[in-house]
A and B are shown apart, each in its own frame.
Chain A
Amino acid sequence: MSEQDEDLELQALQRQLDDAFETTRPRRGFEDELWLRMQSSRPARSRIRDAWAGFWQGIRAVPAVPAAAVAVAMVVVIGVVLVGYSGILRPGGMSSTTGGSALNAAPNNRYAGDFGRLPSPVFPGQKSAGANGSNPTAPLAASDYAGPAQLTWTGHLDVAFTIAPVFRYQEPSTNTADQFASSLGAPLHGRPQGFLGMYETSDYTLKVRGTVASPPSSPAYFIFSNLSMAPIQAAGAGPADLASVFLAEHSLVPQWDYTTVVDSSGDPIKVFYQRELALPGGTSAYLVNTNGDRYGLEVDLSNNRPVLVSGMLPVNMDSATYQIISSDQAVRAALGSSQPVPVAGTAAPAVVLTQAELVYVLVPAGDHSFYEPAFMFSGTVKINGSTLTKRVLVPAVDPSQRTP
């Protein structure tokens, strides 16, 4: 081969290399997925800094605006930033409520403002609008008591703020479910009734479900492992570590704040990631179901092998602040929620409520559902020699801002 031929051959190879590098691109959806992950990992302070940068850029772009108008605009923007970001202006900041707060919402939703009158949460024992019977509830734990009770309150409830964020999300579609499954590398297998999709890999079956109206249940995914799912190898690791390893390997580590709780009392061992939502003043509140049980994500392990993973499907949320009732109003509402005794002449057990906390509950509402704040009171009662826990949930959003 002549030198000229060799040169031509090398040039052709270089052109192929150009084409190869120009046409090598990540799969569809990766760009947006990664951008969302990056957004969710941002420290709160940098998000605020960006808000300011955007504000100053806006001012620079309109140099003819008089100083007085700029001053007025600053006051407005400061107000918007303080209100819109009230959940993160606390010492230390909110580390991550990915896909779960206004901070992660699409830019055009960042200042969504008022959602209008909110649907009211309906709790066990209450009558739902338009229904005659009590509401279905999530399965109760053996240590919970849901029956009628004579309630008294001896605890102390002091809520330092008068507003709290309400979070809203759009009902996930089959497309949302497919994208989630795709991010796990799980191809679609079918769409069984009641699920947005079922997906299968060599190790597990994934099912994705939307919001369940009754009893209220958040959009969720479920990973059912099959026999080829190998145990997690991590010498000396405890259940929480093993669960974290599995979640990390599958990019399922929650992008929201959580508390990890391990229940090793049986087989499988259950590792719970209880979701928390940010509140003004640097505090946070757990997400609970209508029984008051915290939830978020659960990894069930049997002999170090994940047998079931069930977690909240990531959805984008925006938020708006709402006025909440006072501590006194909350206590009155809790005590007023005593249920009637089903059999005349029998006495309801006396329950002394001793503790109360602000929590968040799901309020399904069709295309858009809400996570609304609620007060949860709790106390214990002895029934047939067993000590059971009685919980009472009271909507926290001021009634004037809720539909009856």
Chain B
Amino acid sequence: MADRQPFEDLYREYLGRIYAYVRAQVGTSADAEDITAQVFMNAYQAYPRFEARNTTPAAWLFRIARNATLDHFRAYGRRERLRRTIEHQPEAVEDPAGQAEERIQYQALLAHVAQLPERQRDAISLRHSGLSFEEVGKLMRCSEDAAKMLYHRAVKALRESVRMEGGA
């Protein structure tokens, strides 16, 4: 407890990464903001109980983010997400104000990530948010090796998705 870094340091360090992770899961920057806010609100409440010896701050925060994202999909159902996927509704139509300010490159690539099956999407998002395969495995309740395999399958699926789009 005594050596724990102030929560604000954690917040400043991880806000961007958590946002990127959530943003890759959900369709709009508005949803990403709401979920990110929920993540850090929850983390803020739970920080006094955080045990650094049991897990890293990154894994702890990403676990909260993952749960919040799953809650989001549970709450709103996948209907809306599927609709966006089917219609390929561009972000700009949904969220012009957010898009104008959001700092995001490779938007099309992230849109492809968002369309992957849930576990593949999760593996790519967690891995490229800076987590080790061991941490990804723990979060996804599988072994490190299984996390690696899942990730590599996800990247190949992503490549196929990008290829199909390019060929369409």
Contacts of A13 in B (CB 8 A): 155, 158-159, 162
Contacts of B87 in A (CB 8 A): none
| Interface residue from A17, A18, A28, A186 paired with B101 (Cβ < 8 Å) | A28
CA distance A34 to B158 in the complex (A): 33
Asked if A367 is at the interface of the complex by the 8 Å CB criterion, the answer is: no
Asked if A41 is at the interface of the complex by the 8 Å CB criterion, the answer is: yes
B41 touches A26 (CB 8 A): no
Asked if B105 is at the interface of the complex by the 8 Å CB criterion, the answer is: yes
Residue of B nearest to A23 (CB): B105
With A26-B15, A35-B8 already in contact, the answer to whether A41 and B105 are too (CB < 8 A) is: no
CA distance A326 to B101 in the complex (A): 54
CA distance A36 to B19 in the complex (A): 17
Interface band, chain B: 35 or more
| Interface residue from B11, B24, B30 paired with A21 (Cβ < 8 Å) | B24
With A34-B36, A34-B40, A38-B41 already in contact, the answer to whether A26 and B12 are too (CB < 8 A) is: no
Nearest CB of chain A from residue B33's CB, rounded to whole Å: 6
CA distance A18 to B130 in the complex (A): 9
Asked if A16 is at the interface of the complex by the 8 Å CB criterion, the answer is: yes
Residue of A nearest to B15 (CB): A31
Contacts of A38 in B (CB 8 A): 11, 40-41, 44
CA distance A24 to B105 in the complex (A): 7
CA distance A23 to B104 in the complex (A): 6
Asked if A156 is at the interface of the complex by the 8 Å CB criterion, the answer is: no
A26 touches B32 (CB 8 A): yes
Residue of A nearest to B20 (CB): A24
B103 touches A23 (CB 8 A): yes
User: Using a CB-CB cutoff of 8 Å, which residues 170-211 of chain A contact chain B?
Assistant: 182, 185-187
Asked if B128 is at the interface of the complex by the 8 Å CB criterion, the answer is: yes
Residue of B nearest to A57 (CB): B2
Contacts of B125 in A (CB 8 A): 21
Asked if A62 is at the interface of the complex by the 8 Å CB criterion, the answer is: no
Asked if A10 is at the interface of the complex by the 8 Å CB criterion, the answer is: yes
B106 touches A20 (CB 8 A): yes
Q: Is the interface of A mostly helix, strand, loop or mixed?
A: helix
A26 touches B29 (CB 8 A): yes
Contacts of A10 in B (CB 8 A): 155-156, 159
Nearest CB of chain A from residue B24's CB, rounded to whole Å: 7
Interface centre among B11, B16, B162 (most CB of A within 10 A): B16
Residue of B nearest to A202 (CB): B96
A27 touches B159 (CB 8 A): no
The interface bits of chain A over 41-70 (1 if a CB of B lies within 8 angstroms of the residue's CB, else 0) are: 110001000000000000000000000000
Contacts of B40 in A (CB 8 A): 34, 38
B102 touches A26 (CB 8 A): yes
A24 touches B159 (CB 8 A): no
| Interface residue from B36, B41, B129 paired with A41 (Cβ < 8 Å) | B41
Nearest CB of chain A from residue B130's CB, rounded to whole Å: 8
A27 touches B102 (CB 8 A): yes
The interface bits of chain B over 1-19 (1 if a CB of A lies within 8 angstroms of the residue's CB, else 0) are: 0000000100110011101
A20 touches B109 (CB 8 A): yes
Asked if A37 is at the interface of the complex by the 8 Å CB criterion, the answer is: yes
Residue of A nearest to B1 (CB): A53
Contacts of A14 in B (CB 8 A): 128, 155
Asked if B23 is at the interface of the complex by the 8 Å CB criterion, the answer is: yes
Contacts of B65 in A (CB 8 A): none
Asked if B62 is at the interface of the complex by the 8 Å CB criterion, the answer is: no
Nearest CB of chain A from residue B28's CB, rounded to whole Å: 11
Asked if B37 is at the interface of the complex by the 8 Å CB criterion, the answer is: yes
Additional pairs, 6, CB under 8 Å, beyond known A17-B128, A21-B24: A10-B159, A20-B109, A26-B15, A26-B16, A30-B33, A34-B36
Q: Closest 6 interchain pairs by CB?
A: A27-B101, A20-B106, A24-B20, A185-B97, A21-B128, A23-B105
16 pairs across A/B with beta carbons < 8 Å? A10-B156, A17-B124, A17-B128, A17-B158, A21-B128, A23-B105, A23-B106, A26-B15, A26-B16, A26-B29, A26-B103, A35-B11, A38-B40, A38-B41, A41-B44, A182-B97
